[in-house]
Amino acid sequence: MTEQTARQKAGELTSEQVAEYLRANPDFFLDQDELLRSLTLPHDSGRAISLVERQVHLFREQRDTLRSEMMELVSIARHNDRLFEKSKRLLMQVIEAKNLQDMASAIDDSIRGDFGLDAASILLFGDVNKLGQSHGALHIVGKSQAEQRLGALLDGDRAVCGQFRETERAFLFPDRDEPIASVALVPLRYEGLVGVFAVGSCESGYFDQNMGSLFLSYISDTLSRLLPPVLKRHGSDAAKVAELTVESGQG
């Protein structure tokens, strides 16, 4: 026979039964003023406090916890609002860009100036002979070359954040005096466009796998749709220049 069973047989209530009764009857103490005054609880300070004092203490702790959580949510909302405004300004500048060079400059200036990061890079997998090799922060590379240098980083369809290998960072951000230490990379894929959008920091722990990438994905999704017509126009202009050069040489 357990102690609890023995108590029940003796007509004694267990603490679980008392607690269950009070939960089922939350208004029990409404007419028990004398009982409330006589009940005391131990306190961290060593002195005994009344049940009402204990309730007030718990309510204050709960209030402080809720206030702290609310302040954190407000801080996150303000941070996201600032990120949205920066993303909006960047994309407006990209939309207004007249050519590939202007678009690359707008992205580079915004990422380094507005977002406070150290580098931005767009790698598009295409024909270098047709589109050129580099346009500021935008680089045209062969797909096989990108697969060889970046490997598994190109397999997914979501943002990848981390420190990456030195060879990968050098490929993403070429010709830098100060090396990039950590990277956030987002794929660019839309109607035949294939590439990556990468931002980098010289601080080794700035980007990690636990970072949120909502706004980077938002920017990359928009860039994926804005780039194809600009690339097409750029390729057409480059072809016209080549034709004029050939004709001039023949003349």
Q: How far is CA 206 from CA 84, 153, 218, in A?
A: 20, 19, 20
* Cβ proximity of 171 and 150 under 8 Å: yes
pLDDT in tens, 195-229: 889 898 998 888 877 666 778 888 888 888 888 87
For the cut 60, the answer to whether the pLDDT of residue 237 exceeds it is no
Please give the pLDDT value at position 165.
Answer: 87
The per-residue pLDDT for 241 is: 34
Q: What is the mean pLDDT of residues 15-25?
A: 84
Cα distances (angstroms) measured from residue 55 to each of 36, 49, 221: 12, 10, 52
Please check the confidence at residue 1 and state whether its pLDDT lies above 60.
Answer: no
**CA distances (Å), origin 57, targets 43, 44, 50, 215:** 10, 12, 11, 42
Q: What band does 242 get if pLDDT is binned at 50, 70 and 90?
A: very low
At 99, list the tokens: 């050519």
pLDDT band at 133 (very low <50, low <70, confident <90, very high): low
Average pLDDT over residues 47-54: 64
Q: To which residue do tokens 């062969």 refer?
A: 142
pLDDT at 11: 60
For residues 70 and 217, which has the higher predicted lDDT (pLDDT)?
A: 70
The answer to whether the Cα torsion of 73, 74, 75, 79 is positive or negative is positive
Average pLDDT in the 103-108 region?
Answer: 86
Question: Is the entire prediction scored with pTM above 0.85?
Answer: no
Q: For the beta carbon of residue 210, count every other beta carbon within 10 angstroms.
A: 6
Q: Each residue of 148-199: pLDDT tens digit?
A: 888 888 777 788 888 888 888 888 888 777 888 889 988 888 777 778 898 9
